[in-house]
Structure 1
Amino acid sequence: MPPTPSPPRIAIAVKGYPRLSETFIAQEILALEGRGLDLEIWSLRHPTEKAVHPMNRRIRARVAYLPEYLYEEPLRVLKGALWSLRQPGFRALMRTFLADLRRDLTANRVRRLGQAFVMGRELSPDVRHLHVHYLHTPASVVRYAALLTGRTWTFSAHAKDIWTTPDWEKREKLAEARWGVTCTAEGARHLKALAPRPDHVSLVYHGLDLSRFPEPPETRSLRNGSDPADPVRIVSVGRAVAKKGFDDLLKALAALPPDLHWQFVHVGGGDLLESLKAQARRDGIADRAAFLGPKAQPDVVALLREADLFVLPSKKARSGDQDGLPNVLMEAASQKLAIVASDFAGIPEFIRDGSEGQLVPPGDWEALSNALNLLAREPGRRHAYGAAAFERLRRDFSMEGGIDALEARFRALDCPEPLNPPVAA
């Protein structure tokens, strides 16, 4: 058997690191390190959350932070710009940047260029390839840095970056990247239609590393909402943003019949968190709805183990943003928790209506309320859904398949030596 090719040292670029909402990225980096890949992490933003997932603490890769706003680190940006002026790739970079700027005349576009100057100058000399999570802002920085330094690059596309980035920008990035992967069949179809050839983009599910999770509870409660002292426990996890549909969920909860006793817990931060709390007060359910804010994964799993129903009513936001296949659905399934979610985006690729859970039309809070009412009263059906979701997760959505595909792609890279020399001390 021929020896496994040694991959180049790879810089993984992300929008922010670490982030509680991006367990799939941390899981992937940790698993690739476990396969022997040599990685470093570049983040466009500093962390904003105090809690950190345990798996982030296990990642060994060096982490570098780019200037989040150029004015905050002017000397660093200036050094990057002066260094960039002398690079062979500078002209190609500026042609691309100016063409982009004509179509996107924003300060954010200029910030991406400045971050690319800094990244190009400060990348480890032995980094020969760049891989970026998200096809919008982070991919612009990586694309510019690759043009500047002569490195190759690839991408992982997810959700918002696919649906809110203009087609012209996606088409050009797809043409320049060596290859790309995405995590839903819907996203893959869309990107393949824009790619120079269909096999340029592959479907690679994140899956879930079940070794990081406890075995699901052997038994689950028989709560049916009839006992006010032991209400049905409903939980949802996700950032408080429009595409998650938590406003619909609160409407659905407020419409539940008075003879059904329930409690709701939400986990996650987000810009809409305060407005959701205000909505719960207006609808008269604040005493039964708890908003815990962002939590580390062990705390989330503990909630999932004690809950009776997991709910995620995703929908398309007015901005065009939408979910892919949220990893939290798989986390709920890992604990054999019954799931109610929207029949939308990548969700039905994992949860099939009436098999692994119950799906309702996106944005239809009345249908959601009806589904919650019926399922809350039927512990037997909840248990069947939870067991089926766990089995589907274990059989078809384990992490190993996705990591196998990524490892093979990274090891097959034939990368040229970068153009930039080592930075002087």
Structure 2
Amino acid sequence: MTSASHGQQPTIAVVLKGYPRLSETFIAQEIRALEVAGLPLRLVSLRHPTDTRVHPVHREITAGVRYLPEYLHQEPFRVLRGLRRAARLPGFARARDVWLRDLARDRTRNRIRRFGQAAVLAAELEDDVAMIYAHFLHTPASVARYAAIMRGLPWSVSAHAKDIWTSPDWEKAEKLADCAWAVTCTATNRDHLASLAPDGRVQLLYHGLDLSRFPDPGPQPAGPDGTDPARPVILVGVGRLVEKKGWDTVLDALALLPADLAWRFVHIGGGPLKDRLKDQAARLGLADRIDWLGARAQAEVIEAYGRADLFVLASRIAGDGDRDGLPNVLMEAQSQRLAVVATRVSAIPEFIDDGENGRLVAPDDAAGLSAALASLIGDPARRAAMGAAGRRRLEGAFSLTGSVGPLIDRLRAAVAARGGR
């Protein structure tokens, strides 16, 4: 344990699965908003970064980051030292009992690793920490929970998507019963978690978008309508190349578009399905009409939105239950006045109103997706109206300023309670 200097303001320890990550701008913008609000933070990451770039917001974050042993065998002396120190903490026996009950139902190396990481965290955590706040209800919340029990601290959690829908109900229920409070980013998530939690434990907080980073481009000139091969309609999709994003359905839908329609598809994001999807595009005869740009920093993504005419995302529920919540990229696209074609999955209908600021189709429906794309490719005026409606919806109900306020209040209360003690 590290002693805090006398009179130092209590801090919040924020436990993250990996930091920084290009695909988790919503977390980075929240962290920065908490700092701007005056909350002192210490970041704790379970994994080292793998992205070679960062977003501008990452450079603005001033909180230091501590990396726990990603795999226990990589830092054996640190783990042993952490276990020895943690074993002297008053809450260690209870944390060990909780972990052993979890291990009996989840006999995995990952479960063992979580307890080792938690012991290191509990041993090294500064004495001025008022609360441990975890992003994601699965692994990070496990580490936060075990460490908080060891240290006798309250802990809280922000739940998102995969962490909810691929975790067993017993684990979610026990964590929600144990934490001080939980927030989640969609009404769909909230309703599910609330059914497993004590009354009032789970609160809905949309992520919101930091509109200062996504300035309104204003009304744009009329775009192309797909009739001029020299001026194709630019479709853009942003998201990892994983099953739940439905990029294979997007490719099938593009292949069904009328042969004489002028379009080009630009994809931004990396992921394990890259080669498979490129092969599919080649089989469908689409390879020369698609640009696979890979992962890009935020400024480059915004530039791509500015060059595009229409945004597409075909989210689905993956075979393991993983699914999107409310993808931030939908809000980003609409911040730049892009009409959206997406699917009726999870919380997407909470933001996209079919026919108002975009079009919604059923997941895995390539024909329906293709028809929606074709109708908007040929109607630039309707695209413009939907994009403008999307910007208004963002400013009215999905800005970061409105969404992060209740979180700031909760964390300030934890800091005040610690200061009072």
Structure 1 position 217, deviation (Å): 4.3
Q: 1:149-298 maps to which residues of 2 (within 5 A)?
A: 149-197=151-199, 199-298=200-299
Counterpart of 1:413 in 2: which secondary structure? helix
The CA distance in 2 between the partners of 1:413 and 1:30, in whole Å, is 18
Q: Percent identity?
A: 56
The CA distance in 2 between the partners of 1:371 and 1:417, in whole Å, is 54
When residues 415 and 147 of structure 1 are mapped into structure 2, their CA distance, relative to the original with a 3 A threshold, is farther
The CA distance in 2 between the partners of 1:407 and 1:249, in whole Å, is 39
RMSD (Å), alpha carbons: 1.4
Equivalent residue, structure 2, for 1:95: 97
CA contact (8 A) 1:13 1:133 kept: yes
CA contact (8 A) 1:227 1:261 kept: yes
Counterpart of 2:227 in 1: which secondary structure? coil
Most deviating of 67-76 and 177-186? 67-76
CA contact (8 A) 1:164 1:320 kept: yes
Equivalent residue, structure 2, for 1:423: none
Equivalent residue, structure 1, for 2:3: none
Could you report, residue by residue, the CA deviation over 1:215-268 in whole angstroms, capped at 9, with x for unpaired residues? 224314420111111111000000111111111001111111101011101101
Equivalent residue, structure 1, for 2:411: 410
Q: 1:4-19 maps to which residues of 2 (within 5 A)?
A: 8-19=10-21
Structure 1 position 343, deviation (Å): 1.3
Equivalent residue, structure 2, for 1:3: none
Structure 1 position 415, deviation (Å): 7.7
**1:79 correspondence with 2:81:** yes
The CA distance in 2 between the partners of 1:7 and 1:359, in whole Å, is 48
When residues 163 and 344 of structure 1 are mapped into structure 2, their CA distance, relative to the original with a 3 A threshold, is same
Equivalent residue, structure 2, for 1:40: 42
The CA distance in 1 between the partners of 2:187 and 2:51, in whole Å, is 31
Counterpart of 2:306 in 1: which secondary structure? helix
CA contact (8 A) 2:130 2:415 kept: no
What letter matches 2:321 in structure 1? G
Counterpart of 1:400 in 2: which secondary structure? helix
What letter matches 1:169 in structure 2? E
Most deviating of 82-91 and 313-322? 82-91
Aligned residues: 412
What letter matches 1:272 in structure 2? L
Equivalent residue, structure 2, for 1:422: none
When residues 360 and 239 of structure 1 are mapped into structure 2, their CA distance, relative to the original with a 3 A threshold, is same
Could you report, residue by residue, the CA deviation over 1:289-336 in whole angstroms, capped at 9, with x for unpaired residues? 111111000000000011001001101000000000011111001110
When residues 45 and 343 of structure 1 are mapped into structure 2, their CA distance, relative to the original with a 3 A threshold, is same
Q: TM-score of the superposition, structure 1-length normalised?
A: 0.95
Equivalent residue, structure 1, for 2:130: 128
Unaligned regions of 5+ residues in structure 2, if any? Answer: 1-7
Equivalent residue, structure 1, for 2:58: 56
Counterpart of 1:210 in 2: which secondary structure? coil
Could you report, residue by residue, the CA deviation over 1:38-61 in whole angstroms, capped at 9, with x for unpaired residues? 101111111101110000000000
**1:24 correspondence with 2:26:** yes
Q: 1:272-351 maps to which residues of 2 (within 5 A)?
A: 272-351=273-352
Unaligned regions of 5+ residues in structure 1, if any? Answer: 1-5, 419-425
CA contact (8 A) 2:130 2:414 kept: no
Counterpart of 2:44 in 1: which secondary structure? strand
Structure 1 position 284, deviation (Å): 1.0
The CA distance in 1 between the partners of 2:30 and 2:233, in whole Å, is 35
Equivalent residue, structure 1, for 2:400: 399
The CA distance in 1 between the partners of 2:417 and 2:389, in whole Å, is 47
Equivalent residue, structure 1, for 2:117: 115
What letter matches 1:63 in structure 2? V
**1:352 correspondence with 2:353:** yes
Equivalent residue, structure 2, for 1:361: 362
CA contact (8 A) 1:7 1:413 kept: no
The CA distance in 1 between the partners of 2:344 and 2:190, in whole Å, is 18
Structure 1 position 384, deviation (Å): 0.7
CA contact (8 A) 1:8 1:411 kept: no
Counterpart of 2:224 in 1: which secondary structure? coil
The CA distance in 2 between the partners of 1:403 and 1:82, in whole Å, is 38
